[in-house]
A and B are shown apart, each in its own frame.
With several copies, the nearest count.
Chain A
Amino acid sequence: MADLPQRQTDIGPPHYMQFLPPVAQKNYGQWKYHEQLSGGSMVHVAESGDKLWTVRAASPRLISTDFIRGLTALADKYCGGHLRFTTRHNVEFLVSDESNLKPLMDELKQKNYMVGGIGDGISNIVHTQGWVHCHSAATDASGLVKVLMDEFADYFTGTKTLPARVRFAVACCTNMCGAVHCSDIAVVGIHRKPPTIVHEDVKRACEVPSTIGSCPTGAISPDPANKSVKIKEEKCMYCGNCYSVCPAMPISDPDNDGVAIVAGGKIGSLRSNPKFSKLVIPYLPNNTPKWPEVVAAFRTILTAYENGARKHERLGEWIDRVGWEKFFSLTGLPFTHQHIDDFTIARETYRTSAAFKW
């Protein structure tokens, strides 16, 4: 490796300013308003009157260098080489010259890019590694994203709209790298059996105190005889956190792993405070490659929302307005023991009021 260039350390990322299109550099922080032009395009207008057009297209996030080169070629052709990615993994072409807008969109269409993701619909899905790269995964992420985005493509492209944004997320285990906990509708991979303990490996590979400390329910205790740990199985709710900390406690079990669906979360402070997502379906199987049950569940929830919500009302706001009891009756989703919280703030979820709907 003698021909390698001189490494540098602690330089941090390159300065952002050089990547902004000139019009954005000039009007930096001086934007006045924007207008949505279509499901996948918008224009931002500066105080100066200057304009910057954005065309957004879907990316599966897990992309090849060829895919990237395809994007940069388009950026070179229409955007002076300027493009960005969004916080939801979409790509945005930053167009400074209006005359490039239509040709860009035409070429995107012709090349089968999926243009959209702007406005009140369904944008790309925040997600995670899954079976592509993570040892912890109870499900795959990319596959779920693919089947969900296919199903709801019309809401991405703008062919159909919704009362407000509906944000999906997927996390392949309860570590929740895909920010499921505040999403309108989301999937999270779960296990349903306690881990097995490979005692010889615990001895070798695991630090006993942090393994014990990792268990949210205190199910793990030392097993001095084996120089290992033991699990009180009736206290284990299969979260897999011990496995994160101690590789000698594998928990994966294809027949019982699967996903849960949560819903009703949001992030922004508009109208109502940020909200956690809540459990709506405790388990659906990993029915690969297309998770039809998951797709159907999303459809059910989305349809109920679409029919019930007022304009600008996020999914969780709609549910809060009509009540969770109504959500379950409108969607027909079964309510089970798993729905009733028994974790740290459980009692705050108990219905301490006689006012509820039948």
Chain B
Amino acid sequence: MSQKKYETPLLDELEKGPFPSFVTEIKTAAAKNDSANDLLGVLEQCYRERRTHWKHGGIVGVRGYGGGVIGRYSDVPNEYPGVAHFHTVRINQTSGFFYTSKALNDICDIWDKYGSGLTNLHGSTGDLVLLGTKTDALEAIFAETSSRGWDLGGSGSAMRTPSCCVGPGRCEWSMIDTLDITYALTQEFQDELHRPAFPYKFKIKTAGCGVDCIASVARADLSLIGTWKGDIQIDQAEVKNYAAKGMNIQGEIIDMCPTGCMSLNGGEIAIDNSNCSRCMHCIAKMTKALRPGKEHGATIMVGSKAPFVIGALLSHVIVPFMPLEPPYDNLKDLIRKMWEWWDEHGKNRERIGELIVRRGMREFLEFLELDPIPQMVFEPRRDPFYFWTEDELNK
């Protein structure tokens, strides 16, 4: 390998300082890989010119799949032939991002052989992203990875790779089996994941509780968030321990409870559970003393996304409480129905959240056969403009 040697004075600045350096990483890969080396070169140019040097991706992929690979081409291919093609391969990560050394090493071996040696662990949708390869290596990469039990993630107008928080794998608050739900949905909807046939992308993120460590409420068309019914479990001895260790329970917990449903009497916490909104604050800050109630399920929310075209959206409640046990048929049915409605009415590049805003919640809820309940809204409408059906008038 006789490589072009790039001077990278600007990028070199980014090797200083305590935080691990991506420049160092590129250089590490560059030492054994031409593509990575040319990436270094073109990136220095980008830093110099303060602009990108990539072109729109063409459609590339593996046989039988419509997604999983992001095609990417340089607009200066002659100067940097190693990145003339520089596609990324999205490998469907494991639920909760758990790995073994062996599994990761396997992937590294494949990637050193067929790719740039650079990766993203992980993409912000959750995929294990292999960053930079050429069109003719794609089939090989797929054969190597899939034969070892890995599959591609999503891209394009498809279900995107579902992801979740660590959940029951290591967290005391997980009220749903985030890892298993994510696995089960991914398996169930393989076709929807690999063969784009939707109006636009559809993301699913599952959080074990309202703390939402996977940012489900903000970044998923379908947000599943674990929650409970029943009273918060209180261990008063531990409450006293927290106080003994110096916690200002009144100030940090009682006064910060958003519903004002807590009180502290003689060092014991009392909760008016009927007014608790299950926000998780008290539980998170007093994990030894307070635990969620015993009946577990999920709040189902839909529609969050980035700003295009009508402004960023957060997901909103459509089912306040759904018990979620394998095989999750209730959830799968609901998802299928959502898709059916979206498929029918969604315009090209219209996310489901935007469609709900455009056509109103009523039609969506009626299609899903969900009754309207106040938990679906922060507040009722203000302007007295609304529709009646013939049915409603006649009764």
Q: Of B14, B17, B65, B169, which is within 8 A of A9 by CB? A: B65
Contact of A81 with B217 at beta-carbon distance under 8 Å, contacts A190-B384, A356-B317 already known:
no
Contact of A256 with B393 at beta-carbon distance under 8 Å, contacts A16-B179, A269-B212, A336-B372 already known:
yes
Tell me which residues across on chain B come within 8 A of A59, comparing CB atoms. 20, 121
- Expressed in whole angstroms, the Cα–Cα distance for A28 and B287 within the complex equals 18
Known: A174-B306, A244-B308, A352-B313. 15 other contacts (CB 8 A): A9-B146, A12-B92, A31-B172, A61-B122, A83-B100, A84-B169, A87-B163, A146-B21, A214-B308, A247-B56, A264-B379, A269-B278, A311-B252, A346-B381, A350-B303
**Closest 4 A-B residue pairs measured CB to CB?**
A150-B17, A342-B360, A72-B101, A29-B168
CB atoms of B215 and A62 under 8 A apart: no
CB atoms of A354 and B317 under 8 A apart: yes
Name the segment of B186-194, B263-271, B322-330, B332-340 touching the other chain: B186-194
- Expressed in whole angstroms, the Cα–Cα distance for A337 and B86 within the complex equals 40
Closest approach, in angstroms, between the C-beta of B215 and any C-beta of chain A?
5
CB atoms of B348 and A1 under 8 A apart: no
Interface centre among A126, A277, A348, A358 (most CB of B within 10 A): A358
Name the segment of A97-105, A297-305, A324-332 touching the other chain: A324-332
The verdict on B37 contacting chain A, using a C-beta distance below 8 Å, is: no
Which partner residue on chain B sits nearest A16 by CB separation? B95
Which partner residue on chain B sits nearest A153 by CB separation? B18
CB atoms of B312 and A181 under 8 A apart: yes
Q: Can you list 30 pairs linking A and B with CB atoms under 8 Å apart?
A: A15-B183, A20-B169, A24-B170, A29-B177, A64-B117, A68-B105, A71-B104, A143-B22, A150-B17, A174-B306, A179-B219, A181-B383, A213-B309, A214-B349, A216-B308, A238-B388, A254-B51, A268-B210, A268-B212, A276-B382, A311-B251, A339-B372, A339-B380, A340-B381, A343-B381, A346-B360, A351-B317, A352-B315, A354-B225, A358-B320
Tell me which residues across on chain B come within 8 A of A87, comparing CB atoms. 97, 163, 165, 213-215
CB atoms of A345 and B311 under 8 A apart: yes
CB-CB contacts below 8 Å: B18-65 with A:
18-23, 25-26, 28-29, 36, 39, 43, 46-57, 62, 64-65
CB atoms of A8 and B140 under 8 A apart: no
- Expressed in whole angstroms, the Cα–Cα distance for A1 and B139 within the complex equals 9
Tell me which residues across on chain A come within 8 A of B357, comparing CB atoms. 346-347
CB atoms of A64 and B25 under 8 A apart: yes
Closest approach, in angstroms, between the C-beta of A206 and any C-beta of chain B?
10
Interface size class of A (residues with CB under 8 A): 35 or more
- Expressed in whole angstroms, the Cα–Cα distance for A33 and B93 within the complex equals 27
Tell me which residues across on chain B come within 8 A of A131, comparing CB atoms. 43, 46-47, 51-54
CB atoms of A354 and B301 under 8 A apart: yes
- Expressed in whole angstroms, the Cα–Cα distance for A52 and B86 within the complex equals 40
Tell me which residues across on chain B come within 8 A of A353, comparing CB atoms. 217, 314, 317, 378
Q: Of A267, A289, A339, which is within 8 A of B381 by CB? A: A339
Contact of A62 with B118 at beta-carbon distance under 8 Å, contacts A34-B287, A213-B348, A278-B381 already known:
yes
The verdict on A271 contacting chain B, using a C-beta distance below 8 Å, is: yes
Number of interface residues of B (CB under 8 A): 172
Which partner residue on chain A sits nearest B49 by CB separation? A254
Tell me which residues across on chain A come within 8 A of B146, comparing CB atoms. 7-9, 11
The verdict on B108 contacting chain A, using a C-beta distance below 8 Å, is: yes
CB atoms of A179 and B124 under 8 A apart: yes
Tell me which residues across on chain A come within 8 A of B107, comparing CB atoms. 68
CB atoms of A272 and B258 under 8 A apart: yes
The verdict on B94 contacting chain A, using a C-beta distance below 8 Å, is: yes
CB atoms of A351 and B281 under 8 A apart: no
Tell me which residues across on chain B come within 8 A of A225, comparing CB atoms. none
- Expressed in whole angstroms, the Cα–Cα distance for A128 and B88 within the complex equals 13
Closest approach, in angstroms, between the C-beta of B113 and any C-beta of chain A?
10
Tell me which residues across on chain A come within 8 A of B52, comparing CB atoms. 130-131, 134-137, 252
Tell me which residues across on chain A come within 8 A of B163, comparing CB atoms. 87
Which partner residue on chain B sits nearest A256 by CB separation? B393
CB atoms of B361 and A350 under 8 A apart: yes
CB atoms of A65 and B117 under 8 A apart: yes
CB atoms of B97 and A174 under 8 A apart: no
CB atoms of B124 and A128 under 8 A apart: yes
Which partner residue on chain A sits nearest B152 by CB separation? A9
Which partner residue on chain B sits nearest A86 by CB separation? B97
Closest approach, in angstroms, between the C-beta of B119 and any C-beta of chain A?
6
The verdict on B80 contacting chain A, using a C-beta distance below 8 Å, is: no
- Expressed in whole angstroms, the Cα–Cα distance for A104 and B260 within the complex equals 44
Closest approach, in angstroms, between the C-beta of B243 and any C-beta of chain A?
15
- Expressed in whole angstroms, the Cα–Cα distance for A157 and B375 within the complex equals 38
Which partner residue on chain B sits nearest A260 by CB separation? B384
Which partner residue on chain A sits nearest B303 by CB separation? A350
The verdict on A279 contacting chain B, using a C-beta distance below 8 Å, is: yes
The verdict on B246 contacting chain A, using a C-beta distance below 8 Å, is: no
The verdict on A175 contacting chain B, using a C-beta distance below 8 Å, is: yes
CB-CB contacts below 8 Å: A46-103 with B:
52, 54, 58-69, 71-73, 75-76, 81-87, 89, 91, 94
Tell me which residues across on chain A come within 8 A of B92, comparing CB atoms. 12-13
- Expressed in whole angstroms, the Cα–Cα distance for A240 and B258 within the complex equals 40
CB atoms of A89 and B121 under 8 A apart: yes
Tell me which residues across on chain B come within 8 A of A85, comparing CB atoms. 97, 99, 121-122
CB atoms of B217 and A84 under 8 A apart: no
CB atoms of A350 and B276 under 8 A apart: no
Closest approach, in angstroms, between the C-beta of A299 and any C-beta of chain B?
15
The verdict on B377 contacting chain A, using a C-beta distance below 8 Å, is: yes
Contact of A8 with B299 at beta-carbon distance under 8 Å, contacts A72-B105, A270-B279 already known:
no
The verdict on A321 contacting chain B, using a C-beta distance below 8 Å, is: yes
CB atoms of A271 and B25 under 8 A apart: no
- Interface code A127-159, partner B: CB below 8 Å = 1, 0 otherwise? 110111111110010110111011001001000
Tell me which residues across on chain B come within 8 A of A253, comparing CB atoms. 51
CB atoms of A67 and B28 under 8 A apart: yes
CB atoms of B349 and A63 under 8 A apart: no
CB atoms of B306 and A181 under 8 A apart: yes
CB atoms of B20 and A60 under 8 A apart: yes
CB atoms of A276 and B314 under 8 A apart: yes
The verdict on A307 contacting chain B, using a C-beta distance below 8 Å, is: no
Which partner residue on chain B sits nearest A207 by CB separation? B348
Closest approach, in angstroms, between the C-beta of A47 and any C-beta of chain B?
9
CB atoms of B143 and A6 under 8 A apart: yes
Q: Of A66, A175, A260, A335, which is within 8 A of B306 by CB? A: A175
